[in-house]
Chains A and B, each alone.
Chain A
Amino acid sequence: MSKQVLLIEDEPNIIEAISFILSRDGWTVKTHSNGADAVEMVKERRPDVVILDVMLPGKSGYDILRELRDDPEINGLPVLMLTARGQTKDREIAERAGCDAFMTKPFSNADVLETVRALAAK
């Protein structure tokens, strides 16, 4: 069975592109576009890796990450955070909230693929 990535992102064309490159690499890609119920979605899907955008409608990516880390059932899940602001401050917030990897938009497809592979191998 192929490994599963849950992509939580609200920009449709980014969803389409990332889904395409990960699927081509053999991943099963599920997507979700709303922040409010993202945590429930993670618990339901139980993916191998989560890709989480910071700016989401309903709830911020940081808050979602903190909730994931506070939940003993799923707190070991590898999370890659995406943000459109590359300031040190944002990286700090993300790291304190407990992300495993951090990428600033615009990123390259190759980097995303490589990072997701590395996170799943942990």
Chain B
Amino acid sequence: MPRDTLTGSRIRERRVMAGLKQSELAKRADISPSYLNLIEHNRRRIGGKLLVDIAHALGVEPGSLTEGAETTLLATLREAASGIDMSEAEFVRVEEFAGRFPGWAALLADNQRKVETLQRSVEALTDRLTHDPHLAASLHEMLSTVTAIRSAASILAEPGDIEPEWQRRFNRNIYEDSARLADTSRSLAQYLEEADSEASETNAPQDELDGVFQKFGFHFPALETSDVDVDAVATELGQGVSQAARWLLRRAITRYRADAERMPLGESADTVAVSGNDPFAFAARFGCDLASAMRRLAHLPEDILPEPVGLAICDGSGVTTFRKPLPEFPLPRLGAGCALWPLYRALARPMMVHVEVMEQSARAAARHRGYAISQPTGPARSGEDVLFESHMLIVPEPKRDVSEQTRHVGLTCRICPHPTCEARREPSIMVASAPRKL
């Protein structure tokens, strides 16, 4: 419900913006200037025809005069005000402020939110300093040693006679303590350096997992034999990555091994020799689901395939959980890709296979055929929803004139030049001239 307590303030605001005198607006709306004055100071309720007349005279929508400011905006502004010692009289004018200066109010609210975010990260960092046991112990050790050195040194430096025996003792103490200080500070510097490089190299466990696959390739001969110890392979491949990434890696190669068991390398090679990079042929030959067939193709050694294939897997939230990019079909490292990819469209129609020829508009228009299917992640259970994940196999498509329709897709919105895309979720940095719609 519109709050008419502020309609007057908005009329005044719009009138001043339009450069109209009170008397002029009163004349156009066919009321007395003193009555308009009362309205503008929110001392007379206004609605119905008069409101429409005044809005017309001002050349604005009547709704813009009665619309209350957004609840969230007001809540944020109140939050900002609660941080300072604001008088009650000023505090209750928050709606008036938001109504009369929407732009400034939005700016203030935005800043308030930024301040909150920064406060949280500062707290997290402080937590780390306070609760990191190694850091705390090292600092304590250093400060204790420095204290001992300072005390002993100032005893020696101060005027006055000190017996030679005491002099020798304090000299020795300083010598020992300074050696200790050197050791502690060296180990602290090393610790901080390692902590720093850890933070900069590993943004997310998923990134680390991608890194392992990129480093070793996507085919693991060790996982192709039946007597393989999956744990041992996971340990070997997961050296130097975080605990969380090891967990992801173990899950990925367990799946790899299950696929390899159902589709042994030798028979897989035979199938490729007959039908090429065709996931349907794999599914038919081994009697398995299409998603497993896609994964198997993506993990076969590249020299037995007619050409390398790519694969993307995302969960029901659209977050990529596996990425094997191709030179001409890159997959974004962070965040999701283009909403037009069959990968995401498949999520809307589970179990239906989407096959589409795509051209990435940002690339030199190389063509790829995408096969996508969204499948349940686990077995069906009575009366329970199942979770879905989507697979998309990416196969290079020769560029010959085919009657099949080609879909123009992007990589991510920020670097996609497609000007009139309905799937766009953020502006592109490639089209500087694109109009900024508010």
Binding site for B on A (CB under 8 A): 11, 13-14, 16-18, 20-21, 55, 84-85, 105-110
Q: Is the CB of B170 within 8 A of A17?
A: yes
CA distance A110 to B157 in the complex (A): 13
Number of A-B contacts (CB under 8 A): 56
Q: For B146, give the chain A residue with the smallest CB separation.
A: A106
B150 adjacent to chain A (CB < 8 Å) = yes
The contact of A11 among B148, B155, B158, B169, by CB within 8 Å, is: B148
* CB proximity to A under 8 Å, residues B132-166: 139-140, 143-144, 146-148, 150-152, 154-155, 158, 166
Q: Is the CB of A106 within 8 A of B155?
A: no
B231 adjacent to chain A (CB < 8 Å) = no
20 further interface pairs, Cβ-Cβ under 8 Å (given A13-B173, A14-B144)? A11-B148, A13-B148, A14-B147, A14-B148, A14-B151, A16-B152, A16-B170, A16-B173, A17-B151, A18-B151, A84-B140, A84-B144, A105-B143, A105-B147, A106-B146, A106-B147, A107-B147, A109-B154, A109-B158, A110-B154
Q: For A106, give the chain B residue with the smallest CB separation.
A: B147
Contacts of B176 in A (CB 8 A): 13
Q: Is the CB of A13 within 8 A of B177?
A: yes
**Can you give 12 contacting A-B residue pairs, CB < 8 Å?**
A13-B177, A18-B151, A20-B155, A20-B166, A21-B155, A84-B140, A84-B144, A85-B140, A105-B143, A106-B147, A107-B147, A109-B158
Binding site for A on B (CB under 8 A): 139-140, 143-144, 146-148, 150-152, 154-155, 158, 166, 169-170, 173, 176-177
What 5 A-B pairs are tightest by C-beta distance, nearest first?
A17-B151, A13-B148, A84-B143, A105-B147, A106-B147
Q: Is the CB of B173 within 8 A of A106?
A: no
Contacts of B151 in A (CB 8 A): 13-14, 17-18, 21, 106, 109
Contacts of B143 in A (CB 8 A): 84-85, 105-106
What distance in Å separates the Cβ of B339 from its nearest Cβ neighbour in chain A? Answer: 49
CA distance A108 to B157 in the complex (A): 12
Contacts of B158 in A (CB 8 A): 109
CA distance A107 to B149 in the complex (A): 11
CA distance A17 to B154 in the complex (A): 9
CA distance A115 to B380 in the complex (A): 75
CA distance A80 to B432 in the complex (A): 66
Q: For A105, give the chain B residue with the smallest CB separation.
A: B147
Q: For B140, give the chain A residue with the smallest CB separation.
A: A84
Q: Is the CB of A109 within 8 A of B155?
A: yes
Q: Is the CB of B169 within 8 A of A16?
A: yes
Contacts of B148 in A (CB 8 A): 11, 13-14, 17
Contacts of A106 in B (CB 8 A): 143, 146-147, 150-151
CA distance A35 to B176 in the complex (A): 25
CA distance A17 to B148 in the complex (A): 7
CA distance A85 to B142 in the complex (A): 11
Q: Is the CB of A108 within 8 A of B154?
A: yes
Contacts of A21 in B (CB 8 A): 151, 155
Q: For B174, give the chain A residue with the smallest CB separation.
A: A13
CA distance A84 to B137 in the complex (A): 10
Contacts of A109 in B (CB 8 A): 151, 154-155, 158
Contacts of A18 in B (CB 8 A): 151
Q: Is the CB of B169 within 8 A of A105?
A: no
CA distance A107 to B166 in the complex (A): 21
Q: Is the CB of A84 within 8 A of B150?
A: no
Q: For B170, give the chain A residue with the smallest CB separation.
A: A17
Contacts of B150 in A (CB 8 A): 106-108
